[in-house]
A and B are shown apart, each in its own frame.
Chain A
Amino acid sequence: AVEAGRTPGPRICEGDCAVLKREDVFKAVPVLPRPATVRKIIFEKQWFYLDNAIGHIYGTTFEVTSSGNLQPKQDVEETTTETKEAGTDNRNIVDDGKSQKLTHDDIKALKDKGIKGQEIVQQLIENSTTFRDKTEFAQDKYIKKKKKKYEAVITIVRPSTRILSTMYYAREPGKINHLRYDTLAQMLTLGNVRAGNKMVVMETCAGLVLGAMMERMGGYGSIIQMYPGGGPVRAATSCFGFPKLFFDNLHEFPLSKVESLLSGTFSTETLPSEPEDGSLVGEESNGLADGKQTSLQETEEESTTEAAMEINQTEEQETMDINAEDVEFKENKEKENKENVREKQRKQWERRKKLIETAALLREKNADGLIVASKFHPTPLLLSLLEFVAPSRPFVVYCQYKEPLLECYTKLRERGGVINLKLSESWLRNYQVLPDRSHPKLTMSGGGGYLLSGITVVLDKSKSDSSDSEALKMEEPSSKRCKVQDLHC
């Protein structure tokens, strides 16, 4: 039996992959061993060092001092000794732009003096002439807004699919094909992803889908990742901080070899070229800085939004850091230059051996499921990769757009060997729940992609045309079947 599910301790350690959190904004960072932790981290317009966080429990909230150090936040009792004064409506509140007596320069001076954010907020309140006339709710909202701006607090949490998929969807949706986290959740459930499975996955979501599957499988069973180009991208996978053991049964197979494997002409003579060492280092050392894989169109689309600008900036910062490491890496490399050739040959040989093993696993054609979430057209992927899946197993295909899945649906029906095909989309609505102020949040995501799912069955090779049309008839959904479940209220 494998000893899996053994998670690292709940304390922040060197070498961990941690996630910074402020309000609903996340950022994944590696906790490098000292003295590299001295590296400056920029997050939400604040800069700080991670040194002091080491040894603290995950979930701890820190205050950022003016010198960039992290200090565990003390629970302070709210200073609401004075009797609350509030207006009932805003009929007499006039926007003359003069309600705040502190000027821009005053506030900057306070900040430069290193005064705690909490005190700045208090001063802002005291110097606001309209604050007392605002309703209690409006006062609440004012304080919350100012706290968000001036109180420099961050929480350090442990990575999980929940956190990383939320983070990627908010920060870099282009890198995960706009796969929203609830859609990813549907995929894991529809695909019956669990310990002990032998799964086939083809994704171009920076390794996020792979990571989510690895989390759900807990090191039990095996995963075969099909990859386009020179090698699989696992930038997001590395953010999870999985134990080494989880990678023992993770295999990869080049997509360009699939047809030869299916037709029986597979050989390992011509392998796709290995990814460059530099890019690999970049991926391993920093989860979010993988190669720019988004199409031109996508990049253009995103750079128009302000949010994306911020991401670009932080990315630049990260890229600079990597370059520094890169140089160091290359220096070391030159020293070992002679051993390098032999090392390379050994690696090549090992790679070939692994590929042969993976090919053998695929040839068994008994995978327990197929998950596809890529930038490619899903139809050819499905028609080929389903060959590797055993009968009575689920498969799920994600696509950012609905139209390719319509075609995929039709082609799968023509192929046969699949039942219970379902095209779906999930909607996610967040709520503000406060006493007397509950309502859906103002904005919601416009789209998180589409899923086509189904179950494989034994493929009847000699099926006649009549049985085919019968199958179609059988599966044709009747419009009558629109029954909505009763609700218990």
Chain B
Amino acid sequence: MSFVEYGDTIKDGDTAIVFLGHESMFPVKVQHGTVTQTKYGVIRHSTDLIGKKYGSKVTCSKGGWVFILHPTPELWTMNLPHRTQILYSTDISIITMMLELKPGSIVCESGTGSGSLSHALIRTVAPTGHLYTVEFHQQRAEKAREEFREHGVEHLVTVTNQDVCKNGFGVSNIADAVFLDIPSPWEAIGHAKSALKAEGGRICSFSPCIEQVQRTCLAMEEYGFTEINTLEILLRVYNVRTISLQIPDLGKAAEDNSSTGFDSSNPSNQGSLCTNLQQGTVQFKSGVPLREMVGHTGYLTFATKS
């Protein structure tokens, strides 16, 4: 296993994802002789995990079962230990595409934070690209280094512990893309420009507040960036539900019910609608939006150095 290569079987030292149910999962470091507690009972790594296929159903001591999944940056994002607020896969996906990242790309990132985006960036630029990530918080920088080592991707990333606004990315003229998720990105635009290749590249800055975006856009313009574009992406998730709606009793005779427009023999309604006249209900499948959704994560400002 590694975060940049699929493996078939679970091995000692792997990071695996224990899937208990809908959005209920956690990462586990597979180690001989270790046990993991779940609400369905104990998982013994030596016998229950090591040598098994990823995607297998593992029966726990109390008879319940879980699935063991191969790690991906997306599963990691959902399960990683938070040291900071993190970027989620919806934002990450548009960042990756708009920065035009692909195998071989050289990317600069700051701050590293909890490494949610870092893992996704490394996945995309591997096996020939590289990520230079800058984190001014020493403890976070060290923790990130440790995780990259555990996840088998340390050869694809360099973590630098310094202030990007003061000292830049520690590299110049080598990056295809720069990503900024810091409180004052406008102070790092100059450093971003010098980190990018002389022939040009792409930049993205993530900020929750519009005032930050305004200052960043001004700085980008000042440094000669073009194609400056700010956008926001939101994810709407739907629950798939079977809904039954009661047919109102308008005092009509039973035989008249077929004229209400809910005739199940009507070919246009087949499959999606199911009428139960005896019980006086109509059933249908619906994608129901969640009661609450993430309404704002941050504004993403993209630009080109040309």
Contact = CB atoms under 8 A, between A and B. Distances in A.
B235 A424 contact: yes
A392 B236 contact: no
Contacts of A160: 100
Interface string A149-168: 00000000000111001000
A186 B98 CA distance: 12
Contact of A433 (B53, B214, B290): B214
B264 interface: no
A57 interface: yes
Nearest to B289: A425
Contact of B287 (A4, A402, A457): A402
A428 B236 contact: no
B5 A422 contact: no
A289 to B, nearest CB: 25
Contacts of A405: 287
Interface string A197-219: 10000000000000000011111
A438 B200 CA distance: 27
Contacts of B271: 407
A457 B90 contact: no
A458 B233 contact: no
A398 B199 CA distance: 36
B104 A5 contact: yes
Given A189-B89, A410-B285, A218 B120 contact: no
B231 A428 contact: yes
Chain B, interface size category, equals: 35 or more
B72 interface: yes
A218 B23 CA distance: 32
A239 B70 CA distance: 35
Contacts of A84: none
Interface in A7-43: 7, 10
Interface string B213-256: 11001100000000011111111111110000000000000000
A277 interface: no
Interface stretch (A114-122, A309-317, A479-487): A479-487
B214 A190 contact: no
Interface stretch (A177-185, A335-343, A355-363): A177-185
B136 interface: no
Interface stretch (A264-272, A296-304, A323-331, A470-478): A470-478
Interface residues of A, number: 81
B21 A162 contact: no
B200 A392 contact: no
A77 B288 CA distance: 55
Nearest to A192: B72
A419 B290 contact: no
B27 interface: no
A391 B213 contact: no
Nearest to B211: A438
A420 interface: yes
B230 A161 contact: no
Contacts of A423: 237-240, 287
A433 B217 contact: yes
B294 A438 contact: no
Q: Most chain-A Cβ atoms within 10 A of its Cβ — which of B22, B272, B296, B301?
A: B22
Given A190-B89, A433-B214, A427 B233 contact: yes
A469 interface: no
B51 interface: no
A280 interface: no
B209 interface: yes
Interface string B290-302: 1111111101010
Interface string B92-103: 111011101011
Interface in B265-298: 271-272, 285-287, 290-297
A216 B127 CA distance: 11
Nearest to B212: A489
Interface in A376-413: 390-394, 402-403, 405-407, 409-410
Contacts of B230: 430-431, 433
A17 to B, nearest CB: 15
Interface stretch (B42-50, B54-62, B184-192): B54-62
Contact of A195 (B8, B96, B127): B127
A200 to B, nearest CB: 14
B123 interface: yes
B234 A216 contact: no
A406 B286 contact: yes
Contacts of B236: 424-427
13 contacts: A162-B98, A185-B96, A189-B92, A192-B123, A366-B8, A406-B286, A424-B236, A425-B236, A431-B230, A455-B55, A456-B55, A458-B56, A482-B292
Interface of B: 4-6, 8, 19-23, 53-57, 67-70, 72-74, 84-85, 88-90, 92-94, 96-98, 100, 102-104, 120, 123-124, 126-129, 199-200, 208-210, 213-214, 217-218, 228-240, 271-272, 285-287, 290-297, 299, 301, 304, 306
